[in-house]
Structure 1
Amino acid sequence: MKRQLGILIVLCLMIVTFPNFSKAIKYNHNSKTIREIKHHVDFNVLVPKNVPDDWTLEIKTYPWEVKTNFTSFRLHYMDKNDEKMKISIEQTKEAEKQTEENNPYAKTVIINGHLGKLIKLGNDGEVDYKGEILNGGVLQWTQDGTNIELFSLTIPIEKMLEIARSIE
């Protein structure tokens, strides 16, 4: 009994000491939650584990007018002030969306053991009307029965790949 109590105390201390051990998602705009989405789609819902702590999340569901049985959704990760979208991660059931198989600008990448496509922005390095440097692109792959498309205008490709590879 003492041993079990000791283990419980150590686990509690770990959770308090290491806040990222059980990192909570910060939702915005009264968004649906990951848990709610899992109940309303017929495919695996995958979430990145490696996003900055100060980003917030809003989930957009499609079709817009339905309340249940969504065919797709997007995770919109916003900056801490909820002013700029950092990344968008769209998810659909496998085979419901085609990837950029024949795009001459698409580069093949490996994401979590799966073949994917990376398409860099054509205006890479330019500055947009808000003063942001454009250096993102699109990553597409299928993982665990879910088509995933990660998009960003401003996050560098290396960081996008890092986020993509943390999706589980």
Structure 2
Amino acid sequence: MKYLLKLLLVFILISTIPLCVQAKNIKYNHNSITISEVEKKVDFKVLSPKQVPKDWTLEIKTYPLGEKDTITNFRLHYMDKNDKYLMVGIEQRKAVSNEVEVKTPNAEKININGHIAYFQGWGNGGEGDSKGKKITGGLLTWIQDGTYIEMDSSNISKENMMKIANSLK
């Protein structure tokens, strides 16, 4: 019996390791602007996840569109390895207050890096999208180090979104 429990624990440990890895070399796609370039063009702290799957690629969208010198907000678009699905989007802008606007009254209050955050699952979670993929995830919002962060995904679970959110530094 003890052997089976140990085997089960090892299996659980091994099956969760490849999910998130330390992001060392970011693979940008579509000739995207880089995180270091964004940092030079905003007046707030840029936070990037330190743990994302190693085969995801990153494209950064900046706003206002076409602006070259000053960026007011941006979105990190982490795509799957085939650049087909948006796995997670992370929007950032300068926080204007100490409170996060709760998007819906049913949002769940959670802790991200010691900050109050709100998570709201999608209303159609668990259903299939137009491509037959199961909809998961939701919308996660919080303020960290003076930066308002809004993370969304319909392709990864709430738990995996929280792992990525907690790795934002």
TM-score by length of 2: 0.84
2:152 equivalent in structure 1 = 151
User: How many residues were matched structurally?
Assistant: 149
Q: Which residue number in structure 2 is paired with residue 140 of structure 1?
A: 141
Q: Cα distance 1:21–1:126, how it changes in 2: closer, same or farther (>3 A)?
A: closer
The aligned residue for residue 77 of structure 1 is 78
Task: State the secondary structure of the residue aligned to 1:162.
Answer: helix
What is aligned with 1:15?
Answer: none
Question: Secondary structure of 1:26's partner?
Answer: coil
Amino acid at match of 1:142: I
Contact 2:23 2:54 in 1 (8 A): no
**Matches for 1:11-50 after TM superposition, within 5 Å:** 23-50=24-51
Letter in 1 for 2:79: M
- Which structure's CA Rg is the greater one? 1
Matched, 1:63 2:64: yes
The alignment yields a C-alpha RMSD, in angstroms, of 1.8
Three-state SS of the structure 1 residue aligned to 2:110 is: strand
Residue ranges of structure 1 left out of the alignment (5+ in a row) = 1-19
C-alpha distance in 2, partners of 1:78/1:21? 17
CA spacing shift, 1:47–1:22, aligned 2, 3 Å = closer
- The answer to whether the 8 Å contact 1:100/1:106 transfers is no
Deviation at 1:105, TM superposition (A): 1.4
Contact (CA 8 Å) 2:90, 2:149: kept in 1 or not?
A: yes
**Partner Cα separation in structure 1 for residue 118 and residue 110 of structure 2:** 6
CA distance in 1, matches of 2:162, 2:22: 22
Residues 88 and 151 of structure 2 are in contact (CA less than 8 Å); yes or no, is this contact kept in structure 1? Answer: yes
Residue aligning to 1:124: 125
Give the share of equivalent positions with the same residue, in percent.
52
CA distance in 2, matches of 1:100, 1:34: 26
Q: Secondary structure at the match of 1:77?
A: strand
- Residue 89 in structure 1 maps to residue 90 in structure 2: yes
| DSSP-derived class of the 1:160 partner | helix
Whether the 8 Å CA contact 2:119–2:139 is kept in 1: the answer is yes
Tell me by how many angstroms 1:148 deviates. Answer: 0.4
